[in-house]
Structure 1
Amino acid sequence: MISNGSVFKLGFFSSVNSTNHYLGIWYNNISAFTVVWVANRQKPLNDSSGLLTISEDGNLVVLNGQKEILWSSSYFSLKAILAFLFFLFCFHMNVNNFVANSSAQLSDLGKLVLKENTIGTILWESFKNPSDTCLPETGNYPSDPSIGSFSFGISCQSLTQAFIWKDGRPYFRFGPRNGQGFIGIPAVTLFHDKFSVVQNQEGTTYLTSSFLFHSSHVVLTTQGNIEFRLWDIEKEDWEVMWKAMVSVCDIYGTCGAFGSCNSMSSPICSCLEGFEPKNTEEWNRQNWASGCVRRTLLQCGRLNTSGEAGKMDGFLKLNMMKVPDFVEFVEWPATQEDDCRQQCLQNCSCIAYAFDSGIGCMTWTRTLIDTQKVSYGSGVDLYIRVAHSELDTNGDMRKIVTITVIIGTIFISMFTYLLWRWIAKRKARRKKEKEMLMFNREAHEKFPSEDMLGDNLNQVKVQELPLFNFVKLASATNNFHESNKLGQGGFGPVYRGKLSDVQEIAIKRLSKTSRQGLEEFMNEVVVISKLQHRNLVRLLGCCVEVEERMLIYEYMPNKSLDAFLFDSHKEILLDWRKRFNNIEGIGKGLLYLHRDSRLRIIHRDLKASNILLDKNLNPKISDFGMARIFRSNEDQANTNRVVGTYGRKNSSFYHDEQSMSLLGHAWKLWKANNIVALINPMISEPCYEMEILRCIHVGLLCVQEFAKDRPTASTVISMLKSEIVDLPRPKKPAFAERQIGLDIEFSEVSQRKCSVNNVTITMIEGR
């Protein structure tokens, strides 16, 4: 059985080097055979005579050649049973003569569902009977599919924690959960907030994950680890993106009772403050199973005859810890850490406490087990109760002095080494600073009236931008040979080059006859020297030797977007999914420029030829020569001149002199309720039509005449993702009725016609 979208397949398979056969579900369109669910794990077939069928009572069953039942979906949820009985009651059916009317279906999520056909009640589903794999939207968590030693589940005693058990005993522990993630799991800093704990109406508690998507899954391995795996198309193999357990310290109770584990230390185990090894000989042999014992009795635990009455117990603080097991959530009115401290101090049974804003006060009254030091992640401060005599401030001072001496020795050694390196590199650095000084001075001398440029140079340390040697760049491009020329722009020619380390680069060389010049060159250096975003082309460095001015970028093998859109042979390579990916990527790049980057930037020359495509046809915004930087206190500014590119590319499908622009044509179709006619037949598919129409709708909202009516970049992205469901109706766009002449020089003689005061304001909101 194959799912409707051909994503998953249901059938019988045999395990490696075995004659056993199993009923399972696996990926249908992935080359590596990967089983995600198995039915008869405990009762395999011994031959290939297996049969999956629906029995007379409506259950799915697996039969062998002798018609013996090896597996059955005989589990019915309480909800399904009540719904079915209600149906029988309402229609007065004779239960004794009733034959169940059910069917089975495999979804593209990898879920096998058994339904009652009359009223559509789900009687059984594979997601609620998991094996070793968690698929997208399952809500649960094989070379040999049989049940192994490890299992995964949730413990909701006092506070929610997740466990991996080995033969019924704890083997690894997540937790406790504080509303955002699991405390003290250093390896999941990328994923710890992607888990949610849910309790349904039936009282079942389960774990869901929001970072799963198609061609990915979470698996409990035969070694007892949980791994997040993603399918790598190029390698044609599963890539492990994350593991729950990364060190010995992650194994439950590695250091025994009252011990603490730190994978960055040697040895990894140590006793908690105020404790000592229970068996010193075993401890020295790095056998920590016996754990630690308290050195000095607490004030609460000793007879009050020792003369130390009144000397209260105290707490020693351990930073960034995965808290011990057997945690107890106390509903004290503790809104601050100090409240928790006082309540624990007044309770003789309380031997440790911790405070987390997402949980509140956590206390421990039993053995402290599975405590771990984490170097990063969601650790909290743990406070251990100790006798007053353990609070040795002089001992702390000795530790501080010792550490200071060690650090001082290391510092002197490092200083000597760094000084030697500094002297060796001094000459090269002076040369670089001299070149950049000349470069900056030349820019200021040429443009003394542009105070914006000077401000920009102060905002960005251009001196940190790598400088490339002209001879090296000439060698990389075969002396700027014509065969390496990628294109020609207003700035000058762009060449493809290859450095000695086989890194491919693109070199933009300022032409002496350029229609632009040093101002645009400087502007581009300033704007993108510190910008980093996956949808912005990356500037690798520049060359400012003698009269040469060059910018060095990462190489984009697929050139620019216009090379695909306006080429009848290449446009077929851009199906709708790739086009939408470009739309969304460009939007995210603009959002970064308008709102999230350290400099607030408006591009002002965004067009298809300035959108470069990487090897996977992902978009990257380029060419920031016309970009405008805003000061931190600016919200808007008037442009001094109309900038950008004038041309007829997007309207060149009209040949008569009185034809409208593409925008005017789109508005005409919108008003006529015929916007579907705007869709290119090559990308028009029924399943994408609503998404395409939504993009056209958002596009019309972005070109409305008045700036206040246009959505911001962040709103546009929310609209594209359908996070904003109801879109406002667009108003008449600017220049919708402007007609396009045939003269290619039209823009230069008619700038005054096209410039309207209320639509040439550049807004920092990116409208």
Structure 2
Amino acid sequence: MGTTCLTIFMLLLLLMICVCKSDDQLTSGRSLTPGDLLISKGGVFALGFFSPSPAGSSTSLYVAIWFHGIPEHNRTVVWVANRDSPATTSSSPTLAISNNSDLVLSDSQGHTLWRTQNAIAAAVHDNGTALAVLLDTGNLVLQLPNGTVIWQSFDHPTDTILPGMRFLMIHRARPAGRLVSWRGPADPSTGDFSFGLDPVSNLQLMIWHGADPYCRISVWNGVSVSGGMYTSSPSSMVYQTIVNTGDDFYLVYTVSDSSPYFRIMLDHTGTMKLLSWDTNSSAWTVISERPTGGYGLYGSCGPNGYCDFTGAAPACQCLEGFEPVAVGMNSSKGCRRMEPLRCSKGSHFVALPGMRVPDKFVLLRNRSFEQCAAECSSNCSCTAYAYANLSSSGAMADQSRCLVWNGELVDTWKNINYGEKLYLRLASPPAKTKTNIVKIVVPVVACLLLPTCIALVCLCKFKGKWQKREIQKKLMLRYLSTSNELGDKNEEFPFVSFDDIVATTDNFSDCNMLGRGGFGKVYKKNAIMQGMLKGGKEVAVKRLSQGSGQGIDEFRNEVVLLVKLQHRNLVRLLGCCIHEEEKLLIYEYLPNKSLDAFLFGTH
């Protein structure tokens, strides 16, 4: 009896050990039904049936993988097998390994809801039956007993990338995989947003909304291996690596030791998020996301504008040489050139560092930097170019990446963490620099010339008048120089110009005439003569009549006589004038009539 009990105990112990060992495995002799779980060896992940809606509100069941170490109320699903073919609770679904070593989800009616369809099933029978193992990386692996992997969930992601997952985007020049968002927060079926490599260029990581570009995450610079780093705390690091082996193009995230849970997921709103689990708050923390609000959406800053992420907050800016089309930069109208490009007028290129290059480029292969620049320079429609030297890229036959753009530049970013030089074509500085100088100089010169010309005219007029007076003065001196009786007085004797006398007498107006005699007429005027003769006294102008018969001798004798005879009862001679045929004497004016009026009573 004791031996029998011991045997039974050993059998139960062995059965328990086998069951414990098979918690992370699914073999051909065991199927998975609702309520059963596969738990990875380290207890990080679990696989089983789940319903995304609250209990009792939905009968849909999905086979999924989620973080086992996170509380049930915050269950985080990272992979769904039958996302577009849900089972129901009433159909008694099972997950099992078929005779062809496929992992198959079926219901009680025999309907296949999902299967793996491994590529090497023909060779399975020679190696035994496959088994499924859930790893601590979150990868569900279907493998042969010898360890050969014939299928794995990491090759068929849904909306999540886990650390260590090789997210394959290109295999032998053909698109391989994409992330596809859930339809909604409680609906894991295929959603409207997807993430992967742009199949046109094979150089851009993009999010699509249906068939339309929604957000460009990054532009691959073409090197075999490139990377970036994100941190959630000083001790937690996430490394992003893009690898190109020639045949395969894939993205890998790795984390530092003792880091918390990480995941990269595309949510149902089209936002790509890098998330870290915070054990203190029991919640997921966003480390990085794209797009950020309204910024980062495809073409959000319009043609020829760029989204600037270098400041405290993202903002739209115009590329150098451009100005906003509309007031403000928060619209999609973008920017326009300040100076239009004209091939005949010439152009030049400016280097803009730290730029995430625009979309809609043309890739030119096997070009040096000089050839890339010349290719764009010689094409009038080329608006920009960018170049990457891939000399360290041993796996690639083409050691360069030359990108050129024609027309408008769409969806450009500026970021402090990554970027490259974008060489932008601008119109050559026009001759308007000289035009501007002319515009400034001409008014200044004109302003200076006007007063200068006026001053010159006045100077010429004054000089002419002065020269005319000098000529008349010299003429008077010549007439009077034959008489030595004046002595040195002829140097001081005032000679009056004929123009002044004409102006003084109103052109010898009869209104100003005092009388006439044998010599000629006598005129009176004082207004204009003031200042020409000392004292500003009233004067009498005696004009020699051309018919008087008196000549230069009589005129000179009268001047000499009056200069020599200085008496208080004789009228004083104040000046004289000779102009062509005119001979004039200027006397002081005596208001008490002439002497003949007293002698002969003619008053």
TM-score of the pair, normalised by structure 1: 0.42
Equivalent residue, structure 1, for 2:268:
222
User: One-letter code of the match for 1:8?
Assistant: F
Could you tell me how far apart the structure 1 residues matched to 2:282 and 2:333 are? 47
Could you tell me how far apart the structure 1 residues matched to 2:373 and 2:267 are? 41
**Cα gap change, 1:121 to 1:292, in 2 (>3 Å):** same
**Conserved in 2, the CA contact under 8 Å of 1:320 and 1:380?**
yes
User: One-letter code of the match for 2:112?
Assistant: I
User: What does 1:422-433 align with in structure 2 at a 5 Å threshold?
Assistant: none
Q: Counterpart of 1:344 in 2: which secondary structure? A: helix
Could you tell me how far apart the structure 2 residues matched to 1:389 and 1:249 are? 33
User: One-letter code of the match for 2:249?
Assistant: T
**Cα gap change, 1:199 to 1:371, in 2 (>3 Å):** closer
Could you tell me how far apart the structure 2 residues matched to 1:370 and 1:396 are? 35
**Cα gap change, 1:292 to 1:328, in 2 (>3 Å):** same
Indicate yes or no: 2:371 matched with 1:322: no
**Conserved in 2, the CA contact under 8 Å of 1:260 and 1:371?**
yes
User: One-letter code of the match for 2:292?
Assistant: V
Q: Counterpart of 1:386 in 2: which secondary structure? A: strand
Could you tell me how far apart the structure 2 residues matched to 1:391 and 1:250 are? 39
Equivalent residue, structure 2, for 1:110:
138
Could you tell me how far apart the structure 2 residues matched to 1:144 and 1:37 are? 13
**Conserved in 2, the CA contact under 8 Å of 1:349 and 1:365?**
yes
User: One-letter code of the match for 2:305?
Assistant: G
**Cα gap change, 1:70 to 1:366, in 2 (>3 Å):** farther
Equivalent residue, structure 1, for 2:410:
369
How far apart are residue 250 of structure 1 and its match?
1.0
**Cα gap change, 1:332 to 1:39, in 2 (>3 Å):** closer
Could you tell me how far apart the structure 1 residues matched to 2:230 and 2:357 are? 12
Equivalent residue, structure 1, for 2:419:
379
Equivalent residue, structure 2, for 1:175:
218
Indicate yes or no: 2:384 matched with 1:344: no
Equivalent residue, structure 2, for 1:8:
45
1:197 is matched with which residue: 234, 242, 247? 242
Q: Counterpart of 1:146 in 2: which secondary structure? A: strand
Q: Counterpart of 1:210 in 2: which secondary structure? A: strand
RMSD over aligned CA atoms reads 4.0
TM-score of the pair, normalised by structure 2: 0.52
User: One-letter code of the match for 1:134?
Assistant: I
How far apart are residue 39 of structure 1 and its match?
0.7
Q: Counterpart of 2:89 in 1: which secondary structure? A: coil
User: One-letter code of the match for 2:151?
Assistant: W
How far apart are residue 319 of structure 1 and its match?
4.2
User: What does 1:308-707 align with in structure 2 at a 5 Å threshold?
Assistant: 309=344, 311-331=345-365, 333-335=367-369, 340-356=372-388, 361-374=402-415, 376-389=416-429
Indicate yes or no: 2:282 matched with 1:245: no
**Conserved in 2, the CA contact under 8 Å of 1:187 and 1:244?**
no
1:132 is matched with which residue: 155, 159, 165? 159
Deviation string 1:312-363 (CA, Å, 9 cap, x unpaired) is 212244343221012344346535xx76544421233421023455666432
Could you tell me how far apart the structure 2 residues matched to 1:256 and 1:295 are? 16
Q: Counterpart of 1:6 in 2: which secondary structure? A: coil
Q: Counterpart of 2:189 in 1: which secondary structure? A: coil
Deviation string 1:610-654 (CA, Å, 9 cap, x unpaired) is xxxxxxxxxxxxxxxxxxxxxxxxxxxxxxxxxxxxxxxxxxxxx
How far apart are residue 11 of structure 1 and its match?
0.5
Bigger share in helix? 1
User: One-letter code of the match for 1:41?
Assistant: R
Q: Counterpart of 1:250 in 2: which secondary structure? A: coil
Could you tell me how far apart the structure 1 residues matched to 2:342 and 2:268 are? 48
Q: Counterpart of 2:187 in 1: which secondary structure? A: coil
Could you tell me how far apart the structure 2 residues matched to 1:27 and 1:130 are? 15
How far apart are residue 124 of structure 1 and its match?
1.4
Deviation string 1:268-305 (CA, Å, 9 cap, x unpaired) is 4454445566xx5xx448674454555655333xxxxx
What fraction of aligned residue pairs are identical, expressed as a percent? Answer: 35
Deviation string 1:499-558 (CA, Å, 9 cap, x unpaired) is xxxxxxxxxxxxxxxxxxxxxxxxxxxxxxxxxxxxxxxxxxxxxxxxxxxxxxxxxxxx
User: One-letter code of the match for 1:325?
Assistant: D
- Counting matched residue pairs gives 362
1:28 is matched with which residue: 51, 68, 76? 68
How far apart are residue 55 of structure 1 and its match?
2.7
Could you tell me how far apart the structure 1 residues matched to 2:411 and 2:315 are? 13
**Cα gap change, 1:249 to 1:234, in 2 (>3 Å):** closer
Could you tell me how far apart the structure 2 residues matched to 1:204 and 1:355 are? 23
Could you tell me how far apart the structure 2 residues matched to 1:394 and 1:209 are? 57
**Cα gap change, 1:276 to 1:4, in 2 (>3 Å):** same
**Conserved in 2, the CA contact under 8 Å of 1:314 and 1:391?**
no
Equivalent residue, structure 2, for 1:419:
none
Could you tell me how far apart the structure 2 residues matched to 1:251 and 1:395 are? 43
Q: Counterpart of 2:62 in 1: which secondary structure? A: strand
User: One-letter code of the match for 2:300?
Assistant: T
**Conserved in 2, the CA contact under 8 Å of 1:259 and 1:271?**
yes
Could you tell me how far apart the structure 2 residues matched to 1:24 and 1:266 are? 38
**Conserved in 2, the CA contact under 8 Å of 1:316 and 1:383?**
yes
Could you tell me how far apart the structure 2 residues matched to 1:323 and 1:136 are? 28
Could you tell me how far apart the structure 1 residues matched to 2:230 and 2:137 are? 30
Could you tell me how far apart the structure 1 residues matched to 2:411 and 2:274 are? 24
How far apart are residue 26 of structure 1 and its match?
1.2
Q: Counterpart of 2:213 in 1: which secondary structure? A: strand
**Conserved in 2, the CA contact under 8 Å of 1:323 and 1:372?**
yes
Bigger share in strand? 2
**Conserved in 1, the CA contact under 8 Å of 2:385 and 2:403?**
yes
Could you tell me how far apart the structure 2 residues matched to 1:198 and 1:9 are? 29
2:129 is matched with which residue: 101, 110, 127? 101
How far apart are residue 364 of structure 1 and its match?
1.6
Could you tell me how far apart the structure 1 residues matched to 2:304 and 2:94 are? 55
Could you tell me how far apart the structure 2 residues matched to 1:186 and 1:4 are? 28
Equivalent residue, structure 1, for 2:565:
none
Could you tell me how far apart the structure 2 residues matched to 1:293 and 1:218 are? 38
User: One-letter code of the match for 1:195?
Assistant: Q
**Conserved in 2, the CA contact under 8 Å of 1:13 and 1:22?**
yes
Equivalent residue, structure 2, for 1:647:
none
**Conserved in 2, the CA contact under 8 Å of 1:181 and 1:192?**
no
How far apart are residue 63 of structure 1 and its match?
1.9
Could you tell me how far apart the structure 1 residues matched to 2:435 and 2:198 are? 41
How far apart are residue 137 of structure 1 and its match?
1.2
How far apart are residue 25 of structure 1 and its match?
0.8
Deviation string 1:90-126 (CA, Å, 9 cap, x unpaired) is x7x9xxxxxx832211112111112234x54322111
How far apart are residue 61 of structure 1 and its match?
1.6
**Conserved in 2, the CA contact under 8 Å of 1:187 and 1:243?**
no
Larger Rg: 2
Could you tell me how far apart the structure 2 residues matched to 1:396 and 1:204 are? 58
1:70 is matched with which residue: 106, 109, 113? 113
